[in-house]
A and B are shown apart, each in its own frame.
Chain A
Amino acid sequence: MTVYSFDGTLDGLLTAVFDAFDRHEQPEQLLTTGDALPLFCEQLHEVMTDEVKARRVWTGLEKRLSREALRLISVSGFSELPELFNPLFNYVCKTFRLPPDGKSIERNFADPDVLAVTNIARKVLYEQLRMKQFIRFQKAKDGTYFAVVSPDYNVLPLIIEHFRDRFNDQPWLIYDAKRHYGYYYEGADKPIRVTFEDETTVPFNLADGKLSDDVLSSDDHLMQELWRTYFKAICIRERMNPRKQLKDMPRRYWKYMTEKQGV
């Protein structure tokens, strides 16, 4: 059996597709570098990620798939899930194997590969929506708004445009505590990707997202208190429904949410 191994990036996966067609073979399995080899591996090809090859494959896809399907494919890549690799690889290969006038398989949800990729993309889209819902900013003395998150998937790149558009006149930083990077927007131009050389020096607590008191603006406590007051008052006690609350706002998001934090 033929096995390819690649570096786990979307470019790497597209390069693997390029290689498969170049070498006129269809690997049975795609592994990430370091995975244990299957028992009956007869031939192992190590894919060297190559941006040019990846780009050529992507351009080919652009001719064969709708914009929506392409979007779902790139979105699925942000899942960082290893179970994405084989279905996505097969999906792309199948797309290139279709005759030129063949109907794209992108909406054939009875195809297990298309279905798997689409479902993963949906999960990622759901997670980015949850970030748009649940991100909470605190205001610092210098006027910058800080938010810490730890999303299930790597969705910051998918949401920063929303926050730039919405809060285009205020500087902000959104930081992914799980993946140790964030985006900083200084009030004009494009948000930039930032990392901290020494994460222990950041002015916020990675566990609960709270800004340290010497950095927090003087009225932020009051705003947080007002918000918690509002959150309590809006509930109709005769209709208590904690189960629905948990379903729509799972507990794992609470640690960074102002209304769910005590003082």
Chain B
Amino acid sequence: MLTENTMERLRILTESAKYDVSCSSSGTVRSGKKGMVGNTVGGLGICHSFADDGRCISLLKVMLTNSCMYDCAYCVNRRSNDIPRATLSVTELVDITMEFYRRNYIEGLFLSSGVVRNPDYTMERLVAIVRKLRTEHRFNGYIHLKSIPGASQELLSQAGLYADRMSVNIEIPKEESLKLLAPEKDHQSVFQPMKLIQQGVLENKEDRRRFHHAPRFVPAGQSTQMIVGATKDTDRDILTMSSMLYGQPTMRRVYYSGYVSVNTYDSRLPVLKQPPLVRENRLYQADWLLRFYQFKVEEIVNDQFPDLDLDIDPKLSWALRHPEAFPVDVNTADYEMLLRVPGLGVKSAMLIVNSRRYGKLSSYDLKKIGVVMKKAKYFITCHELASPLPGTILGVNELRPERLRALLVSPQERKLAEKEQQLTLDFGV
């Protein structure tokens, strides 16, 4: 039974869970079944609300308990913190999930936990909750389960039968930085469970080929997250790790979480007046380039440019470093090359490829079909003779990249970026 008394604990455990940025309910399409509650819609999932910080609320993101025996420096729930601790019972968690779901508040549950007693003890409790949801309450909605580092293979294989997605957070891209901040962890403790989950998924695929009715194992794959700005690791360290992870067949999403100074007293950590949101955003843009725009990580960050340009997006940044690749003729260029044009997204590139089959496109046509020309116009040529718009536009090569860069940086973005850089200057002193 849920009571008033549940409320305060739900509050505490939500406050403790909210720094995990993943919230998506993507990756599984499962229609409703008779006698069961719920379905999953696939695609990007459904955001049911948006919090005052603008983040999507899709899943009930909560911890089973925020007590933890570990002492990871970047975490609010570390054992040396003096914060209110709470635990929800298995029944309470199951009930809240079902009641919220039936009112269309959420797509499902994202459950994690601090480590109590030992990893297996904790993992067992998490498994008990998802098992109860699936078998007793016939819950057919989305479940994302955080795996507890150090939990046994046996428990992970059980969990995988109930969860749509599982995740283990790397948090810090370089092992030496991780060991400094979380002495009880190393990369092995992260990669081991990732490997086990992957193995489970691949074996399950094999089983399902042979027995069509074998239950599915973690159908929405894995995700992970890295904290940004808690260590000196560069964007290159971060994105190289992401790119390596995306090379794994079951890794679907890497999330980036701008570090929120939760433990200001710890001298191993920088004191940030605000989380590095501009940098976080640039990392997400770079991540998109890796996943959907066929960029290689070395094209985005490398020895010469170990960090992303905060003033401009990484695609524009690449284009300005490679003026020789432009202009691109929108009437003849491959789809892949259209994707490299600053300002052209997947949608615009598709519109162009579709529409140009009916006749040559002028810049007037491009505008009409909804291509945003603000950036793109410096990097493309089109069927200008037919265009009723007067005047030719100077391209990136005539203008030179430095001048174009100055033209394209928006004053607001520059101001935000500057502010962020000043706030992070006192790093590590």
Are A239 and B54 in contact (CB-based, < 8 A)? Answer: yes
Q: Are B103 and A258 in contact (CB under 8 A)?
A: yes
Contact B100 A223 (CB under 8 A): yes
Instruction: Scan A108-121; emit 1 where CB is below 8 A from any B CB, else 0.
Output: 11111001000100
Known: A110-B355, A230-B62. 19 other contacts (CB 8 A): A105-B358, A107-B355, A108-B357, A109-B354, A109-B368, A110-B359, A111-B358, A133-B46, A133-B49, A137-B103, A145-B103, A162-B41, A168-B32, A170-B102, A229-B10, A236-B18, A239-B275, A241-B53, A245-B53
Tell me the chain A residues, 151-165 only, with Cβ under 8 Å from chain B.
Answer: 162, 164-165
Closest CB in chain A relative to B83 CB, distance in Å: 13
Cα(A242)–Cα(B52), bound, Å = 6
- Chain B: minimal CB distance from A242 (Å): 6
Q: In this complex, what residue of A is CB-closest to B274?
A: A238
Closest to B261 in A: A238
Shortest beta-carbon distance from B4 to chain A in Å = 7
- 22 A-B residue pairs with Cβ-Cβ distance under 8 Å, sorted by A, are A107-B355, A108-B357, A109-B369, A109-B370, A110-B365, A135-B104, A136-B103, A137-B102, A166-B37, A168-B36, A168-B37, A170-B37, A222-B3, A223-B2, A226-B6, A229-B14, A230-B60, A230-B62, A236-B19, A240-B52, A243-B54, A249-B49
B15 within 8 A of A: yes
Question: Is A239 in contact with B104, judged by CB distance below 8 angstroms?
Answer: no
**A258 CB to nearest chain B CB (Å):** 7
The interface residues of chain A lying within 8 Å CB-to-CB of B99 are 219, 223, 226
Which residues 12-43 of B sit at the A interface, judged by CB distance below 8 A? 14-15, 18-19, 31-32, 34-39, 41
Does A225 contact B7, Cβ atoms closer than 8 Å?
A: yes
Task: Give the docked Cα–Cα distance between A245 and B102 (Å).
Answer: 24
- B369 → A minimal CB distance (Å): 4
Given contacts A109-B369, A231-B57, A239-B275, contact A165 B31 (CB under 8 A): yes
Report the separation of the CA atoms of residues A248 and B368 in the bound assembly, to the nearest whole angstrom.
25
Q: How far is the CB of A194 from chain B (nearest CB, A)?
A: 19
A226 touches B358 (CB 8 A): no
- Tally chain B residues at the interface, Cβ within 8 Å: 60
Residue B11 is within 8 A (CB to CB) of chain A in the complex: yes
A96 to B31, CA, bound (A): 37
A147: interface (CB < 8 Å): yes
The answer to whether A21 has its CB under 8 Å from any CB of chain B is: no
B363-414 CB contacts (< 8 Å) to partner A: 365, 368-370
Collect the chain B residues with CB atoms within 8 Å of residue A129's CB: 46
Min CB–CB distance B93 → chain A (angstroms): 12
A166 touches B38 (CB 8 A): yes
Closest to B35 in A: A169
CB of A52 within 8 Å of the partner chain: no
- Chain A 25-52, CB-CB to B under 8 Å as 1, else 0, gives 0000000000000000000000000000
How close is A144's CB to chain B, nearest CB, in angstroms? 11
Segment 82-116 of A: residues with Cβ below 8 Å from B:
103, 105, 107-112, 115
> Does A126 lie at the interface of the complex (its beta carbon under 8 Å from any beta carbon of B)?
no
A166→B53 contact, CB < 8 A: no
| A-side contacts of B105, CB under 8 Å | 136, 227, 258-259
B-side residues, CB < 8 A to A, are: 2-4, 6-7, 10-11, 14-15, 18-19, 31-32, 34-39, 41, 46-57, 60-62, 96, 99-100, 102-105, 141, 258, 260-261, 274-275, 277, 351, 354-355, 357-359, 361, 365, 368-370
If over half of A's interface residues share one DSSP class (helix, strand or loop), that class is named, otherwise mixed; here it is: helix
Contact across chains for B100 and A227 when beta carbons are under 8 A apart: yes
B51 to chain A, nearest CB (A): 4
A249 to B258, CA, bound (A): 23
**Complex-state Cα separation, A170 to B411, whole angstroms:** 53
Q: How far is the CB of A216 from chain B (nearest CB, A)?
A: 12
* Residues of chain A lying within 8 A (CB to CB) of residue B35: 169
* A243: chain B residues within 8 A (beta carbon): 54
Tell me if A138 is interfacial: C-beta within 8 Å of chain B.
yes
- Determine whether the beta carbon of A229 is less than 8 Å from that of B53: no
Roughly how many angstroms separate A170 CA and B115 CA in the complex, as a whole number? 37
Chain B residues with CB under 8 Å of A108's CB are 354-355, 357-358
Contact call A245/B54, Cβ cutoff below 8 A = yes
| CA–CA, A248 and B56, complex, Å | 9
Q: Which residue of A lies closest to B369 (CB)?
A: A109
Q: Which residues does chain A contribute within 8 Å of B354, judged by CB atoms?
A: 107-109
**Is A244 at the interface (CB under 8 A from chain B)?**
yes
Expressed in whole angstroms, the minimum distance between the Cβ of B46 and any Cβ of chain A is 6
The smallest C-beta distance from A75 to any residue of chain B, in angstroms, reads: 17
| A222 with B4: CB separation less than 8 A | yes
With contact pairs A145-B103, A245-B50 given, residues A109 and B18 touching in the complex (Cβ less than 8 Å):
no
Closest chain A CB from B299 CB (angstroms): 29
Contact partner, B96, options A226, A232, A235, A236, Cβ 8 Å:
A226
| A168 to B, closest residue via Cβ | B32
* B53 near A235: Cβ-Cβ < 8 Å: yes
B10, A233: Cβ atoms under 8 Å?
Answer: yes
Q: Are B50 and A249 interface neighbours, CB within 8 A? A: yes
A96 to B41: give the CA distance in the assembly, Å: 36
The residue among A105, A166, A168, A223 with the most chain B CB atoms within 10 A of its own CB is A166
Q: A139 in the interface, Cβ–Cβ < 8 Å?
A: yes
CA distance A235 to B50 in the complex (A): 9
CB closest chain-B residue, reference A249: B50
Residue from A107, A226, A243 with most neighbouring chain B CB atoms (10 Å): A226
Contact check, B103 vs A223: say whether CB atoms are below 8 A apart.
yes
